Chains A and B, each alone.
Chain A
Amino acid sequence: MAILTRADGTPDWRRRTPRADLLVWAGWFGAVALTVACFQFISDRTIWAFVWDAPAQGADLVGRMFPPRWSYASQLWKPLLDTINMATIGTALAIVIGVPLAFLAAHNTTPSRLLVRPAVLFIIVASRSINSLIWALILVIILGPGILAGIMAIALRSVGFIAKLLYEAIEEIDATQVEAVTATGASRPQVLGWAIVPQVMPAFAGISVFRWDINIREATVLGLVGAGGIGMQMQASINVLAWPQVTTIFILILATVLVSEWLSARVRHAVI
């Protein structure tokens, strides 16, 4: 409560009205109370003896994880390549499906605001709200374990992401250019090709590379549910408690993600 007072104690300046002060205070109180209540709930379901043990467990874990077993890396190149392929092909597939969806969803390019747009928006939300791991879980049951399920899981999750960001970009384009091309007597496909697509091209490139970068990270864990890639090796190593191998995998993942992040940052700098 910021209040400046004169020498005789009468208030001179205050930041908020008393009512606003009270509201802010009530807001904070509510937020803190909710968090504490929620923590109580979690705490009831926690075996605290295990938690007090955690520093010892953590030290033990680290002790078992180091040094990493470098010889294991020779078995990891193929899964690592699979992981990168999964992310890349999955992203490509998502672009192929997501781009038309984006044009159907944007309110300035959709063929029907009443029918098509809500349906496409629902597809986008459904795709986005289900994590790629859950998609993988479902697809492994349908397609069997392996890289194909991983590719499809990545693609299904990314469709919503790409379509959402792209349709927002399409809705934000400069309308005057569209008007100018329309004024030349261009047909609808021509307007699309000459006025709208060139405007969203940089956004599209940025979104695709950004999603690819995210997908590399996600592809590293899809193997946990059997969808191929380096996650399968991780799961196998954890199951036999071979922590030095897990460390090797972690380091490889870290390196791959750093490289992909650097690459995607470079590309986004170049196009934006």
Chain B
Amino acid sequence: MSATGLPAATGGAFDPAAAARGWRPPPLIATPWLRYAVYLGALAYALLAFSSIEVNWTRAAEGVERAGRFLGGFFPPDFITKGDDILAGLLESLTMTVVSTGIGIILSIPVALGASRNLAPLPVYLACRGLIAISRTFQEIIIAIVFVAMVGFGPLAGTLTLAFATIGFMAKLIAEDIEDIQASQAEAVRATGASWFQLLAWGVLPQVRPRLIGLSAYRLDINFRESAVLGLVGAGGIGDTLNTSFDRYEFDTAAAVLIVIIVIVLACEYASGFIRRKVQ
């Protein structure tokens, strides 16, 4: 059988049924040796990785029973007893989200302009790309630890963390969009004698605006989700409430907090999806 799936022309009539049975869809990785190397490597890795895990199975088995009690503690969720704490944490999370997204977007725009190869000279480009790389590499939590060490416990540390993370995220994606704009439009604006800022306002901004708005809405959504965990390291928000309730074994309150988070994330997701559909 040849590679095309047709029977070799050594004699006999063409048999469509046999050809159909003989045909196989092309594999995802075309090169055979690479394909088998990937399979073998994956298998070897899986064996090694599983053998390296030290699992305390007796502890895990105990955990099953523990899980029952633990999940039992979740029900019914208690919104009332610690209602004030939940509300305060939630308010803190929401304000952190709004402020950090605002500051982050404002700061990310100049960084994005600097990180676009078609607008910025090379030294500026490299500096901005470096900043983006640092902001994107470290988890929010790690950055929050540093900010908490610097400005003390509380929502300000969380706000700064989220703003910093927003810069990396927005600037990278906006810069990619700016690099993809139609050069002819920018050139037409430049040909009228426009200054650099006029070029941005009339040649670049109209082309990237839908994506800018869409990404901002998306980032608002992400920032809320992240603000829910920053409390674990003392950076304020509803994560603080959650962490406290776990520490005090008040699992019914923890369940309430988790439900509040899920509901708000859902609402944020719908809202940001709606905005993105509207502008794109």
Residues of A near any B CB (own CB < 8 A): 31, 34-35, 38-39, 41-43, 45-47, 50-51, 54, 57-58, 61, 81-82, 85, 88-89, 92, 125-126, 128-131, 133-134, 137-138, 141-144, 146-148, 151, 194, 198, 201-202, 205, 217-218, 220-221, 224-225, 234, 238, 250, 253-254, 257-258, 271
Contact partner of B265 (CB less than 8 A), chosen from A129, A146, A234, is: A129
Is B37 interfacial (CB-CB < 8 Å)? Answer: no
With A134-B229, A220-B139, A250-B142 as known contacts, state yes or no: A38 contacts B150, CB within 8 Å.
no
Are A45's CB and B92's CB within 8 A?
yes
With A38-B98, A125-B262, A143-B59 as known contacts, state yes or no: A51 contacts B151, CB within 8 Å.
yes
Are B45's CB and A131's CB within 8 A?
no
Are B70's CB and A133's CB within 8 A?
no
Contact partner of A253 (CB less than 8 A), chosen from B25, B138, B236, B269, is: B138
**Contact residues in B for A134 (Cβ distance below 8 Å):** 228-229, 239, 242, 258
The size class of the interface chain B forms with chain A is 35 or more
Minimum CB–CB distance from A50 to chain B (whole Å) comes to: 4
Are A144's CB and B60's CB within 8 A?
yes
Give Cα distance in the complex from A253 to B92, angstroms.
Answer: 30
Contact partner of A225 (CB less than 8 A), chosen from B54, B137, B232, is: B232
Are A143's CB and B63's CB within 8 A?
yes
Give Cα distance in the complex from A23 to B156, angstroms.
Answer: 32
Contact partner of B229 (CB less than 8 A), chosen from A50, A131, A220, is: A131
**Contact residues in B for A45 (Cβ distance below 8 Å):** 92, 154-156, 236
Contact partner of A146 (CB less than 8 A), chosen from B52, B56, B266, is: B56
Is B99 interfacial (CB-CB < 8 Å)? Answer: yes
Are A46's CB and B154's CB within 8 A?
yes
Are B261's CB and A130's CB within 8 A?
yes
Are B156's CB and A51's CB within 8 A?
yes
9 contacts between A and B (CB under 8 A): A42-B96, A45-B92, A51-B151, A82-B52, A89-B53, A143-B59, A144-B60, A146-B54, A151-B53
**Contact residues in A for B233 (Cβ distance below 8 Å):** 224
Main SS of the interface on chain B? helix
Contact partner of A61 (CB less than 8 A), chosen from B25, B70, B149, B229, is: B149
**Contact residues in A for B142 (Cβ distance below 8 Å):** 220-221, 234, 250, 253
Are B45's CB and A146's CB within 8 A?
no
**Contact residues in A for B49 (Cβ distance below 8 Å):** 85, 88-89
Give Cα distance in the complex from A130 to B141, angstroms.
Answer: 15
Minimum CB–CB distance from B50 to chain A (whole Å) comes to: 7
In the complex, the chain B residue whose C-beta lies closest to that of A132 is: B229
In the complex, the chain A residue whose C-beta lies closest to that of B262 is: A129
Give Cα distance in the complex from A217 to B46, angstroms.
Answer: 20
Q: Which B144-159 residues sit within 8 Å CB-CB of chain A?
A: 145-146, 149-152, 154-156, 159
With A38-B99, A129-B262 as known contacts, state yes or no: A147 contacts B145, CB within 8 Å.
no
Contact partner of B159 (CB less than 8 A), chosen from A34, A42, A88, is: A42
In the complex, the chain B residue whose C-beta lies closest to that of A65 is: B146
Give Cα distance in the complex from A78 to B267, angstroms.
Answer: 41
In the complex, the chain A residue whose C-beta lies closest to that of B103 is: A35
| A-B complex: 3 closest residue pairs judged by Cβ atoms | A50-B152, A129-B265, A38-B95
**Contact residues in B for A51 (Cβ distance below 8 Å):** 151-152, 156
Are B52's CB and A85's CB within 8 A?
yes
Among A82, A142, A146, A147, the most chain B Cβ lie within 10 Å of the Cβ of A142
Is B252 interfacial (CB-CB < 8 Å)? Answer: no
With A35-B102, A125-B262 as known contacts, state yes or no: A217 contacts B151, CB within 8 Å.
no
**Contact residues in B for A198 (Cβ distance below 8 Å):** 25
Give Cα distance in the complex from A83 to B247, angstroms.
Answer: 25
Is B36 interfacial (CB-CB < 8 Å)? Answer: no
Are A144's CB and B152's CB within 8 A?
no
Give Cα distance in the complex from A231 to B175, angstroms.
Answer: 32
In the complex, the chain A residue whose C-beta lies closest to that of B264 is: A129
**Contact residues in B for A43 (Cβ distance below 8 Å):** 156
